[in-house]
Amino acid sequence: MTDADTDASADPDALVATTAASGEVSDDALRVLWSAIGVSDAELDYVAFEDAFLAQVQEGETTSLAFRPGGWVVKASSTLVKTALTTALLAVGLVSIGAAGIPLLVLPAVLPLIVDVDRVQLSAGEHHLLATLTLTDEARHGTAEVLHGRLPEALREQVNEMAFRGFLEKCQRAGLADTTRPADGGPTTFALHAADQSRFRVTFI
């Protein structure tokens, strides 16, 4: 697993899958993954992520953890590595919002017991809506009402404004839209991202 491999895609799921594919992850590759996903720029957050990842992979019976001058290399099944990466990211996310005082190194073990992970995916029709709205920078920013008005007339007739608001909320949960809520209580503004520019996002419901 090389650093170049990890930079292959901006999509978090693809980055995790690529990093885990060979079943071998170095400290350098883990840091590149962390930077590419863009969870946090804080060094302490990365250290917490690294500790949680290493704690998780060492639970695996077939894991090999080799230390070298200046770093380490983990060798395990690709499935175990992917699970450890995903769990470590969730653990750091929970700690960042003050998750009930649970110690970071305990979270990877208890997360599967308390959290159901369900990846939010758009349907083919929703991908078409997103692609239409992200053709230009101007078209991808605005309130739900404004964005709905920017759809081609044929699409506006097929998707009413209430359904369109549901689509925007789904994009937000999928990491394909950022939202800004004005302090004066005005309507929420959405900033949509193209399908290949999704953000890593965990939503608690």
Residue 176: give its domain's CATH number: 1.10.10.10
Of 84, 114, 144, which closes a domain? 114
| pLDDT surpassing 50 at residue 96 | yes
71 φ/ψ angles, rounded to the nearest 5 degrees: 180, -165
Query: What is the end-to-end Cα distance of the chain in Å, rounded?
Result: 35
- The number of domains in the chain is 2
**74-85 in b/e burial notation, b at 16+ Cβ within 10 A?**
bebeeebbbbbb
Mean pLDDT for the stretch of residues 53-81: 76
Do 103 and 151 belong together in one domain?
Answer: no
| pLDDT surpassing 70 at residue 156 | yes
Question: Beta-strand (E) ranges in 6-164?
Answer: 24-26, 64-68, 71-75, 141-143
d(CA 56, CA 50): 10
pLDDT grade for 62, boundaries at 50, 70 and 90:
low
d(CA 43, CA 34): 11
| pLDDT surpassing 60 at residue 8 | no
In a domain, residue 82? The reply is yes
Amino acid identity of 9?
Answer: S
Do 107 and 22 belong together in one domain?
Answer: yes
In a domain, residue 156? The reply is yes
- Kindly report which listed range (60-64, 81-85, 152-156) carries the lowest average pLDDT score: 60-64
Domain limits for position 65: 3-114
Do 151 and 84 belong together in one domain?
Answer: no
Residue 126 confidence (pLDDT): 93
129 φ/ψ angles, rounded to the nearest 5 degrees: -60, -45
pTM above 0.85, yes or no: no
Do 10 and 98 belong together in one domain?
Answer: yes
Residue 143 confidence (pLDDT): 94
Which tokens sit at 184? 């004066």
**Residue at token pair 């929420």:** 188
Residue 87 confidence (pLDDT): 77
**Residue at token pair 């078209």:** 139
113 φ/ψ angles, rounded to the nearest 5 degrees: -85, -25
78 φ/ψ angles, rounded to the nearest 5 degrees: -60, -35
Helix (H) or strand (E) holding 146: helix 144-149
The CA–CA distances, whole Å, from 27 to 8, 49, 63, 142 equal: 18, 11, 15, 41
- Kindly report which listed range (141-145, 150-154, 182-186) carries the lowest average pLDDT score: 182-186
Q: What is the dihedral of CA 121, 124, 129, 132, to 10 degrees?
A: 110
Cβ 15 vs Cβ 37: under 8 Å: yes
Residue 2 confidence (pLDDT): 37
